[in-house]
Amino acid sequence: MDSDTILSFQAPSRNGRRVRSSPSPVMELVYAQYYLHRRLHHPRGFEVSWAEPVLAADPELGDDLEAFWAAHDLTGPGAELFVLSGRYGYAFDDDPERFLHELPHLAARYLRDGAHDEADDEASLEQAADLARRIEALLDADQAEAFAALLRRLWAPLEAGWREHGEAAVNAAASEFESAYERTGSVLEALPPHHFTRFEHLAQGIVEAAERGRVVVVPLWLAASGGFGFRVDDVHYVGFGLQSEDVFERTAEQVGALARRVKALADPNRLLALTLVSTFARMRPTVGDLAEQVGVSQPTVSGHLRLLREAGLVAVEKRGNKSFYQVETEAVRQLLREVEEMLLR
């Protein structure tokens, strides 16, 4: 799971709507361009299956999307398209074309309607200012039209898969959510149990919005563990990837396997023994040498070395009745890389 592929935002409030769940090709597209930019240069690459084929079919698309935002001194997409599609009703269209056709006029409309009210704390003021800068990047109709053309290039290779597989999948997920909501009376309980929307800073807003009957839940076929949570015009929009539970389960399995290997380094004496084997590799220390240096018995050191061998972190060479140990350098490096990748996604 990757926090870079999650968008959380709160915009000024206006009108109310009821709790509902619905597919949204427009928000699928908006999320896809947000995700693509966020993961374009990520060391772990993409966690969705559609990104690489899209870029293979249109190799310049990613760079062109980056260039648009860079030309406006922005690092990439943010909340602007989510907010525009939510405020003006495109979220429930069955095709993105109306949104893309009208995009050149939406920035001016949004700013006329009032984009800067009800920001009542420093964080909200910063978010409102960032949104304003991004909306202003779309004020020029010609540039907004050029950006809409980029979005059409992104949607073109995605549309067939959406129509063939995605639409049915998100319709099923929307029905499942609404059934769970009717059964439990709780938006949070009806959402996937391991989705980020259950985190406290988002969950409270969802609960408050549900009490007013103003929540829209959008299952996302194009998302994996990511999604979005934002409020605009007094409606709280929640998007979750259909694969979020599968991603969580895979992550939990990976963490469990990694934890078993990392456990080999958890004992101070065992880690010291490994350090000594590495530091004095040319001296070829024996089990007796290591026991004396660490200050424990030979059977204890032997037990430590056995666990390190089982974890693949040391190798042993027997000569007569002596056993000489050496560090499996690449295995240690790989383990540390895996820990870093798991924790620093």
Tell me the pLDDT tens digit for each residue of 35-90: 999 888 887 788 889 999 999 999 999 999 999 999 999 988 999 999 999 999 99
The tally of domains found in the chain comes to 2
Is residue 184 located within the same domain as residue 332? no
Residue ranges making up the domain that contains 142: 3-242
Judge contact between 221 and 173, C-beta under 8 A.
no
Paired tokens of 324:
């000489």
What is the mean pLDDT of each successive set of 10 residues along the chain, which is 345 residues long?
47 55 96 93 85 95 94 91 94 95 94 67 76 91 95 96 94 94 92 83 83 89 88 88 77 85 92 92 87 94 93 87 87 91 79
Is residue 285 located within the same domain as residue 322? yes
Strand 227-232 with 20-21, pairing: unpaired
Angle at 243 between CA 238 and CA 249, to 5 degrees: 115
Residue 325: left (phi > 0), alpha (psi -120 to 50), or beta? beta
DSSP designation for 222: T
> What per-residue confidence (pLDDT) applies to 11?
46
Q: What is the pTM of this model?
A: 0.77
Is residue 174 located within the same domain as residue 195? yes
> What per-residue confidence (pLDDT) applies to 123?
65
> What per-residue confidence (pLDDT) applies to 9?
45
Last residue of a domain, one of 242, 264, 288: 242
> What per-residue confidence (pLDDT) applies to 169?
93
> What per-residue confidence (pLDDT) applies to 22?
92
Can you name the residues that pair with 215 across neighbouring β-strands? 236
> What per-residue confidence (pLDDT) applies to 96?
97
Last residue of a domain, one of 208, 242, 276: 242
Alpha-helical segments (H) within 185-297: 187-190, 200-211, 244-262, 268-279, 287-294
Is residue 290 located within the same domain as residue 227? no
Is residue 202 located within the same domain as residue 295? no
Is residue 19 located within the same domain as residue 89? yes
Paired tokens of 33:
């361009």
> What per-residue confidence (pLDDT) applies to 32?
96
> What per-residue confidence (pLDDT) applies to 120?
59
Looking up tokens 């495109």 gives 90
DSSP designation for 198: G
Tell me the pLDDT tens digit for each residue of 102-116: 999 999 999 888 764
Is residue 226 located within the same domain as residue 110? yes
